[in-house]
Amino acid sequence: MRIALLVVLSLSILRAETVPVRFPQGTAHGFLIIHNEQGRTIASGDSIQVVQGDHISTRLVFHFRDGSIDDETALYTQQKEFRLISDHHIQKGPSFPKPMDMLVEANGNVTTKITAKDGTEKVTRDHLDLPRDIANGLVSVYLQNLPARSPGISVGMVVSTPKPRLVTLAIGPVGDVAVHIGGVRRKAMDYRIRVQLGGLAGVIAPIIGKQPKDIDLLILEGEAPVFLREIGQFYADGPIWQVEQTSAVFSHDPAPQLSPKTTP
């Protein structure tokens, strides 16, 4: 069943040079948590999006309980279509065996900073021919703007391996998933993301067990689509983590008493 599903998925993908803007993005602040495979909370984070003139800045930062940090900031435009300007992604700390500090610019310049065990830093600069649909930092935004029941898209992404390389993300819908929000049952769309390495590496990777695992990302569709959950790896050969939205938890301290209004 799984093999058949993936065959259908790969045949139904549409290539998109860019993703049209259906739902313009604005200022927003969300709260997220990460669970490990045992269901334990290992990190909490913020998703902060700010409008800066014609540009949108979106930052997703996670603070891990072991002191690690995953911090990604993407800058993009949304004039009829979404276009990435730059994406800066940092991973460091015990949760990340191979720290990463990579800046991707839409003009193809990729700057990577590697910190050795002795603390010395090495900066490398590469240039890649990037497609217009480069998706670093924007995968969730792209999926929120797909038409309902879209057969899917295929977009480019720069990954650090550790040398930067361009891969393709083949993204397609798997089906509806039941979710409960405030006790009310709703349906979200499960999108499956497959990383296609391409070239000789793409042929050899599955054979030697190096093919990245698929990622599942849930979007609640409707008048204002929103991200709900992501299940996948944060880095090559890494464990499967689950990212999902969370809400504020209030203390049980008595609510402050308001002073009675007095009449002059």
Place of tokens 């409960």: 180
pTM: 0.84
The reported pLDDT for the residue numbered 241 is 97
Dihedral of CA atoms 153, 108, 116, 92 in degrees, nearest 10, equals: -40
Which residues of the chain register pLDDT less than 70?
1-17, 198-211, 253-264
Is residue 250 domain-resident? no
Q: Rounded to whole angstroms, what are the CA distances from 220 to 121, 131, 142, 223? A: 42, 28, 13, 10
Is residue 256 domain-resident? no
The reported pLDDT for the residue numbered 120 is 81
Q: Which residues contact 31 (CB under 8 A, 6 or more apart)?
A: 44, 45, 46, 47, 245, 246, 247, 248
- Our count of domains for the chain comes to 1
The reported pLDDT for the residue numbered 203 is 40
Q: Which residues contact 207 (CB under 8 A, 6 or more apart)?
A: none
Is residue 179 domain-resident? yes
The reported pLDDT for the residue numbered 136 is 96
CB 150 within 8 A of CB 19: no
Give the phi and the psi of residue 252 in degrees, each rounded to 5. Answer: -95, 15
What domain range includes position 87? 2-245
Classified as helix, coil or strand, 180 is strand
The reported pLDDT for the residue numbered 13 is 43
Is residue 258 domain-resident? no
Q: How many CB atoms lie within 10 A of CB 152?
A: 20
Cα dihedral 42, 215, 89, 112 sign: positive
Is residue 158 domain-resident? yes
162: preceding bond cis by omega (within 30 degrees): yes
Is residue 255 domain-resident? no
The reported pLDDT for the residue numbered 2 is 32
Is residue 112 domain-resident? yes
Is residue 80 domain-resident? yes
The reported pLDDT for the residue numbered 191 is 96
